[in-house]
Chain A
């Protein structure tokens, strides 16, 4: 901050405006956009209760179904892990993909477009800020679920597990950025599209069962959603029966997640640039309509 003041003071003396470098502006934007998300969570901790309590009820219902039909115990663990990962899918759908649409509704989108920073940095800030709280929620769900239902974990490789999680998150949030620009173009259907992308995605991505149980081609198609392969690989690495129920080998799934992460981040950049150009040229995207 002191350095910034010194520079601005110097700039005013020489009648020049100080411009941060593009990289610095990008980083500052990420931090600035992540800040309200992180602080907002701290200021109102009751969010945490609702976002743990509600998924825990759904997870418990699925656990009791498996108990009712006397499923092997590892399936209970599969539900807990899948249920924890729904927090990330929710975060991507409602706090990233729909976010630019909400910003338009509240009149902030025009300011984002006018500001000299990158929209990608804004979305990355949202992702970083949201992911912190979402990681916390997912961790609490896993711990609570494991304690309540006595889940046994048998982790075969911590390094691969960590890599899988990080890659799945990079690809997933990249997908969220891409969807953010698409949702904006779809206009008022954004809410319904987000709503529609819940149960069908839980189904095809195998949130509550191994995705291998689905038809091979359906599971392969669903692999475009990063959580499909991310979840499958994590289950293979965390449970004794995981490898026998895995869709593809963990190595192939990790390699595919790398490709998905790169693809979604590049696609998001192209889509956001396009949307920004459209907003400036036609001025319709930022227009608020109810």
Chain B
């Protein structure tokens, strides 16, 4: 088994153990269900009290699916960068991981895979809950599955790359390290049109949504799942599916190249400044 494969495999297994072994499977299952469902129910209640429960309106599906897939942002992107904090501050194993025969970026990707699995469980449960109890529009015969899986994988790749960039910066930061992932995830939630169309944002900040890859990713997922109903909102209606894929792919490629440079640069500085075995107790 080569170093990359070994790093990835064991990191994924370690990540899964960290995510799931803190309690018994029953409590873990409750934890996996309650949090995402409560999160989406806040939006459902907000929507229902104002509209009187008109869940057949396109905006309901827009909000619901956007919120459901946004779970991946917190789990994959924040999860990859969080692995650095976990290893450095909580388990204090980062220095040992670095002296072990591992490829650290690949190790982080493995940790991200575990978060992807737990995130996927939450996304699945959230959508299932919506279809069963909230009359969320979903017809498996009408779903464009190749487009859905293509967009999903490309989006996960983007989030993982963004996670690596955050992980690089996290290695250099002593204070507020906990907030870095949350701040980026919060900005993406607000500006990428995850839960409301970008037209609602003030004109002065609307452009932020157009430079964020998540905007195009969520639009592709909605189009794959809802078909023509997803085009009810004019923000990205002028772009074809191919154009959306091209924009998302281009941004992902650019971020990928950037992440390689940023991560290596941060890692080098962290080694030089002796930050890998830093324990801040912050």
Residues of chain A at the chain B interface (Cβ within 8 Å):
44, 46-47, 50, 53-54, 57-58, 60-62, 64-72, 75, 106, 188-189, 192, 195-196, 198-200, 202-203, 207-210, 213-214, 290
Which residues on A sit within 8 Å (CB–CB) of B189?
A: 57-58, 61
Alpha-carbon distance between A207 and B31 when the two chains are bound, in angstroms? 21
A-B contact pairs, 18 of them (CB 8 A): A46-B176, A47-B176, A50-B176, A50-B183, A54-B179, A57-B183, A61-B195, A65-B46, A65-B47, A68-B63, A192-B31, A199-B35, A203-B39, A203-B45, A210-B49, A213-B45, A213-B49, A290-B91
Contact A65:B183 (CB < 8 A) given known A196-B31, A200-B35, A208-B46: no
Kindly name the residue among A46, A65, A70 whose own CB sees the greatest number of chain B CB atoms within 10 A: A65
- Which residues of B have CB within 8 Å of A203? 38-39, 41-42, 45
How far is it, in angstroms, between the C-alpha of A209 and the C-alpha of B42 when the chains are bound? 8
Q: Which of the residues B22, B38, B187, B194 comes within 8 Å of A199, measured between beta carbons? A: B38
What residues of chain A lie closer than 8 Å to B29, measured between beta carbons?
none
Measured in the bound complex, the distance between the Cα atoms of B175 and A96 in whole Å is 20
A196 x B50 contact (CB < 8 A) = no
Contact partner of A208 (CB less than 8 A), chosen from B31, B42, B48, B186, is B42
- Given known contacts A64-B196, A68-B59, is B175 in contact with A57 (CB within 8 Å)? no
Nearest chain A CB to B20's CB is how many angstroms away?
Answer: 11
Residues B179 and A65 in contact, CB atoms below 8 Å apart: no
**Contact A209–B46 (Cβ < 8 Å):** yes
Q: Are B45 and A68 in contact (CB under 8 A)?
A: no
Which A residues are in CB contact (< 8 Å) with B35? 195-196, 198-200
In the bound assembly, the distance between CA atoms of A18 and B67 in angstroms comes to 61
Minimum C-beta distance from B214 to chain A (A): 13
Contact residues of B: prevailing secondary structure: helix
Residues in chain B near residue A208, CB distance under 8 A: 42, 46
Bound CA–CA A252/B176 (angstroms) = 42
Report yes or no: B45 in contact with A57, Cβ–Cβ below 8 A: no
A181 vs B77: C-alpha distance when bound (angstroms): 33
- In the complex, residue of chain B having the shortest beta-carbon distance to the beta carbon of A68: B196
Q: How far is the CA of A196 from the CA of B175 in the complex (A)?
A: 25
A72 to B195, CA, bound (A): 19
B5 at interface by CB-CB < 8 Å: no
Do B63 and A65 touch across chains, with their CB atoms under 8 A apart?
yes
CA A72 – CA B91 in complex, angstroms? 49
Which residues of the other chain, B, contact A65 by a CB distance below 8 angstroms?
43, 46-47, 63, 195-196
Beyond the given pairs A50-B176, A64-B196, A66-B50, 15 more chain A to chain B contacts, judged by CB atoms under 8 angstroms and listed by A's residue number, are A65-B47, A65-B196, A69-B47, A69-B51, A70-B50, A71-B46, A192-B31, A199-B36, A199-B39, A200-B34, A200-B35, A202-B42, A209-B42, A210-B49, A213-B45
User: Is B137's beta carbon under 8 Å from chain A?
Assistant: no
Assembly CA distance A72 to B46 (angstroms): 12
Nearest-CB residue, chain A, relative to B189: A61
Tell me the B55-69 residues at the A interface (CB within 8 Å): 59, 63
Please, how many angstroms separate the alpha-carbon atoms of A46 and B42 in the complex? 30
B contact residues around A192 at 8 Å (CB): 22-23, 31
**A-chain residues with CB within 8 Å of residue B240 when the two chains form the complex:** none
Minimal beta-carbon separation of B125 from chain A (angstroms): 14
State A67–B61 Cα separation when bound (angstroms): 16
A189 touches B196 (CB 8 A): no
Residue of A at shortest CB range from B194? A61
Tell yes or no: B190 within 8 A of A by CB: yes
Q: Roughly how many angstroms separate A214 CA and B45 CA in the complex, as a whole number? A: 8
- Asked whether A68 lies within 8 Å of B41 as measured between CB atoms, the reply is no
CA distance A71 to B47 in the complex (A): 9
Residues of A within 8 A of B176 (CB): 46-47, 50
Residues of A within 8 A of B182 (CB): 54
A203 CA to B22 CA in the complex, in Å?
25
In chain B, residues 175-209, which have Cβ atoms closer than 8 Å to a Cβ of chain A?
175-176, 179, 182-183, 186-187, 189-190, 194-197, 200-201
Residue B190 contacts which of A61, A195, A196, A209 (CB distance < 8 angstroms)? A61
